[in-house]
């Protein structure tokens, strides 16, 4: 999904469209028995506060969305493990460094 709108100006139509897309996304993935409150990804709430759907656009327009929140894990999106680096690569590097330091 194209999320370049998250880096657009908050005044731009793309940003406004993006917010709608986000709300739709959150809404579709929520369970119907939930209280219809969603984590707000604005730079003030940082997904730490839950708001009703109607209040989220205001936050996102006034404060802006957390820009590095491109995988919406707090809103039902699964992390794509195939795209992340395997952990042992980094560990291996660190080990190599340690050995070099010792030497």
Q: Which residues in this chain contact Zn ion in the complex, by CB under 5 A?
A: 40, 42, 45, 59
CB of 44 to Zn ion, least distance (A): 5
Name which of 5 and 59 has its Cβ closer to Zn ion.
Answer: 59
- What minimum distance in Å lies between the beta carbon of 57 and Zn ion? 10
Our CB check for Zn ion shows the closer of 3 and 66 to be 66
* CA torsion angle 45 48 50 55 (round to 10): 10
Say if CB 30 and CB 38 are below 8 A apart: yes
**53, containing H or E segment:** none
């Amino acid at each position: 999904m194209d999320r370049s709108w998250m880096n657009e100006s908050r005044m731009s139509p793309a940003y406004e469209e993006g917010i709608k897309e986000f709300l739709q996304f959150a809404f579709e993935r929520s369970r119907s028995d939930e209280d219809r409150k969603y984590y707000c990804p604005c730079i003030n709430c940082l997904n730490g506060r839950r708001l009703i759907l109607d209040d989220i656009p205001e936050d996102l327009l006034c404060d802006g969305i957390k820009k590095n929140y491109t995988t919406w894990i707090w809103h039902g999106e699964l992390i794509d493990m195939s795209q992340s680096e395997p952990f042992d690569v980094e560990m291996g590097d660190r080990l190599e460094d340690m050995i070099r330091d010792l030497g």
